[in-house]
Structure 1
Amino acid sequence: MASNEYRAIPKDDSFRAPVGQRSYQNQPPMYTTYNTQPAPVIIRTTRPNNYLIPAILVTLFCCCPFGTIGICYSVESSQEFDRGDVEGAESSANMAKNWSIAGLVCGILAIIAAVILLIFTVLSTSSSYNPYGQE
């Protein structure tokens, strides 16, 4: 067997480099590795107010169509937040608030108009009403 032929290296620590050659088993690494991955960022946000209760109250007591639209936007706000879309949730919550306010204003204006109409109707009929047909 020639001295420059390759031979199998044993897996145990009994292998030694031939005399005159350096062993690289216990040498420090030639380069240093760094972890270049960014650290995980955890952003905790609070759920925006979805204005569900005002929308329900507006639906029951003031203006049913506007309150119903407010409820729809309120539910959409909750669903968008659950999906992780915080900006969409805030936008839908803002729309729910606006529709609830619009329904409240329309309901109050309708109640005021109904009261004024009732007052004018009672005043106009009571002055000319004569149940006995006499003047």
Structure 2
Amino acid sequence: MRSYAGQPRPRPLPARYSRQELPKDHLVEAVLVTIFCCMLTGAMALIYSHETRAAIRRGDIDRAFSASRKAYFLILFSLLFGMFVSITWVICVLATLYAQRGP
């Protein structure tokens, strides 16, 4: 019978990377755009943010950079999409109120 020893320990970083060169995981930004802007792409950004952290713990820095880049672009898309929808909604409400007011 095999016993479970808990979580595997993280590997040391490869020699070519230092702590300052690690990719950012963008977790806080992903949570904020999920709550305030666009839930679907924000949730995808959360997944890639988690994948960035997991890849860093595994020592797979190239995969971490790739996941970090995807999370960043999903956050940017969510933010722009949320702003577009909000501005469009305000314009529609103002146009409706102006039209109801009459000449």
Shorter chain as denominator, the TM-score bin is: 0.7 to 0.9
Overall identity of the aligned pairs, in %: 29
Q: What residue is the counterpart of 2:91 in the other structure? A: 116
Any idea what the Cα deviations from partners look like across 1:20-53, whole Å, max 9, x if unmatched? Answer: xxxxxxxxxxxxxxxxxxxxxx615323201111
Structure 1 runs (4+) greater than 4 angstroms displaced: none
Name the SS of the counterpart of 2:102 in structure 1.
Answer: helix
Aligned twin of 2:74: 99
Match of 1:125 among 93, 100, 103: 100
Deviation for aligned residue 1:64: 1.1
Pick 1 or 2: higher relative contact order, CA cutoff 8 A, min separation 6. 2
The structure with the larger Rg is: 1
Q: Which has the higher helix share?
A: 2
Structure 2 residue identity aligned to 1:97: Y
The reply on whether 1:77 has 2:65 as its aligned counterpart is: no
RMSD: 1.4
Measure how far apart 1:104 and its partner are: 0.1
- Tell me the TM-score normalized by structure 1: 0.61
For structure 1, which runs of at least 5 residues remain unmatched after alignment? 1-41, 129-135
